[in-house]
Amino acid sequence: MTQMRILLEESDIPTHWYNVVADMPNPPAPPLGPDGQPVSPERMLAIFPGNILEQEMSAERWIPIPEPVREIYKLWRPSPLCRALRLEQALETPAKIYYKNEGVSPAGSHKPNTAVPQAYYNAQAGIKRLTTETGAGQWGSSLAFAGQMFGIDVRIFMVKVSYDQKPFRRSMMQTWGASVFASPSNLTESGRKVLAEHPDSPGSLGIAISEAVEEAAGRADTNYALGSVLNHVLLHQTVIGLEAKKQFARAGDYPDMIFAPCGGGSNFAGVAFPFLADQAAASAPKKTRLVAVEPTSCPSLTRGHYAYDYGDASGLTPLMLQYTLGHDFVPPGIHAGGLRYHGASALVSQLLKEKLIEAVAVAQVGTFAAGVQFARAEGIIPAPESCHAIKACLDEALRCKETGEAKTLFFNLSGHGHFDMASFDKYFAGQLEDYEYPAEEIDAALDRLPKVG
């Protein structure tokens, strides 16, 4: 009888993260300062601990996972690899569909995979407080949980409009002991400046980042933590793919195609990079296509410029070579908050440029339809971000139905949708729209990219 959930033991939690840099045909393009010169590590030490910076720059293939981090991972890891048998039957496809359920973590998504080691390394470095920003609250709640595990105070600047309209993730952060501030706040220079000009500012992720970075840079006992984009974040997420490889071995199967939602790129990298390692080592039983799935309303990978750009809206970060729609890009109403990002991780971008991975964009309404179909077959209500991977996977399963191919398809269920039911409500009420980002807007962004050097 086909097993529906392939479970591993605690001892199967990976002992090392996989660093894709070791297997890249070309070294990653370095982050640059405003002067066009590579950024010195010293500058970053103001807000990141040494261990994390080392990981950020490392080209070692395997990086050990500290035992205290593995101990916390055990609260929910290894996560199940599930065979979506009922979904296959509903689609009448000859394809086999698997998904990794990252929604089983305390915060309900893959984000704690990196929040936990970030909190650990900062605690090791004697740091007492971590600051960060959050929009809808996925990342904030994950860092709140992780900080609680290692006795670190977490201070979260939450975009004011979300703070007011989406109180439940805020309560979640408070349950784990974090302090949450509506941003712009009067706790920082950046916040006070905005408030002086716009007392009713609804806030933005850019402003919240400025506040969090300002607090971290100004206090020796305080660091800053980022939830996606950077190399070390992608590194930590590789536990997903490493576990999945063991689980596929148990199932006696191997994916032909892997789908993951892609905003900054960390959950895509987490599930896909360990399979890229098999390709690089020529040890893979087959050629696996790795597909990053993004929204048509925010199509950085499929339609963006490959250029040096800032990682944040305010231009505070170093410049990174990436696919970008311009750091001042403001995506239209889109209900997958985690995919509302102007660019993409440098590693993911470079691998796409070098054609080792693929990207596809899907439109919003169809992602919710796919998510509902998944929920009705498999029982789990997916996060809107995850619905993007489901949509691309279902499209492929239906292609397989036409061609009769029994492909093995695998997607990352990056999180559950328990805190996103308002978006499902809008979907059922027919209030969601598709949005195709206009070509002239994308062209125009080219002129606004920062000049390098």
Which positions lie near its own copies, rule CB under 8 A? 3-5, 7, 9-10, 74-76, 104-106, 108, 145, 148-149, 167-168, 171-172, 174-177, 372, 375-376, 378-381, 418-419, 421-422, 424-425, 428
In contact, 245 and 22? CB cutoff 8 Å: no
Euclidean distance between CA atoms 325 and 97, whole angstroms: 33
Nearest CB to its own copies, comparing residues 62 and 168: 168
Give min distance, CB of 387 to its own copies, in A: 11
Q: What are 124's two structure tokens?
A: 């090791």
Residue 67, amino acid: E
What are the start-end ranges of the H helices in 150-238? Answer: 160-165, 167-175, 189-197, 205-218, 231-237
- Paired with 62 in beta bridges are 18
Euclidean distance between CA atoms 158 and 291, whole angstroms: 31
Nearest CB to its own copies, comparing residues 101 and 302: 101
Nearest CB to its own copies, comparing residues 77 and 305: 77
Give min distance, CB of 445 to its own copies, in A: 36
Nearest CB to its own copies, comparing residues 72 and 352: 72
Q: What is the 3-state secondary structure (H, E, C) of 265-318?
A: CHHHHHHHHHHHHHHHCCCCCCCCEEEEEEECCCCHHHHCEEEEEECCCCCCCC
- What does the DSSP assignment read for 384-441? HHHHHHHHHHHHHHHHHHHHT---EEEEEE-BB-TT-HHHHHHHHTT-----PPPHHH
Give min distance, CB of 217 to its own copies, in A: 29
Helix H or strand E segment including 12: none
Give min distance, CB of 7 to its own copies, in A: 5
Nearest CB to its own copies, comparing residues 240 and 381: 381
Nearest CB to its own copies, comparing residues 316 and 375: 375
Q: What are 49's two structure tokens?
A: 């601990």
Nearest CB to its own copies, comparing residues 148 and 183: 148
In contact, 133 and 316? CB cutoff 8 Å: no
Give min distance, CB of 222 to its own copies, in A: 21
Euclidean distance between CA atoms 347 and 24, whole angstroms: 9
Give min distance, CB of 181 to its own copies, in A: 15
Number of other residues whose CB lies within 10 A of the CB of residue 27 = 9
Nearest CB to its own copies, comparing residues 27 and 379: 379
Give min distance, CB of 5 to its own copies, in A: 7
Please choose, from the candidates 368, 333, 423, 419, the residue with its C-alpha nearest in 3D space to the C-alpha of residue 137: 419
Give min distance, CB of 110 to its own copies, in A: 15
